[in-house]
Amino acid sequence: MPELDQIDTKILRQLQENADIPNAELADRIGLSPSACLRRVAKLRQSGVIRKTVAVIDPAQVGRPLGAVINLEFHRHGNQFRQDFIRKVRKLDAVRQCHVVTGEVTGVMILQMRDMAEYTALCETLFDADDNIVWYRTYIITETLKDEFGPAI
């Protein structure tokens, strides 16, 4: 794990807020010269601290207003038993995040869908046709109170 100093942390906070910020403006906010700031950002990318730069898109504006959180339980927990499920999850655009977790459930998924018809079809494909899924519970998102990406720095 790379050592991050206070300047790296300041850079990361700014980029989490707005990754499109021009380098000169970022440098000014951090208190560095533009060339030093550019080197630091490049180093953060090269070391893998910054994995990628993406656009955060409003799901409703692109026809995917229906959000859901799904908890699920596998019958058998070994990776070999989940391969079919993993392949399906990686192919489905509606699945935005999928995590294997500890606790009362095996997995947690975050989905963004067009409508309930897409949700129903997804459940048939992912859960109902998979003998290794014991159960799943869906929680439809009615209001988003906070929607931040990446870790707190």
The structural domains of the chain, ordered by start, are 6-47 (1.10.10.10), 59-141 (3.30.70.920)
Distance CA 82, CA 53 (A): 30
32-61: average pLDDT: 96
Phi, psi (deg, nearest 5) at residue 46: -60, -35
Q: What is the pLDDT of residues 15-30, one digit of tens each?
A: 999 999 999 999 999 9
With cut-offs at 50, 70 and 90, classify the pLDDT of residue 116: very high
The DSSP code for 20 is T
Decide: 121 and 66 in contact? Cβ < 8 Å. no
Q: What is the pTM of this model?
A: 0.85
Pick from 8, 97, 96: nearest CA to 46: 8
18-47: average pLDDT: 97
Q: What is the pLDDT of residues 79-109, one digit of tens each?
A: 888 888 999 999 999 999 999 999 999 999 9
pLDDT at 2: 81
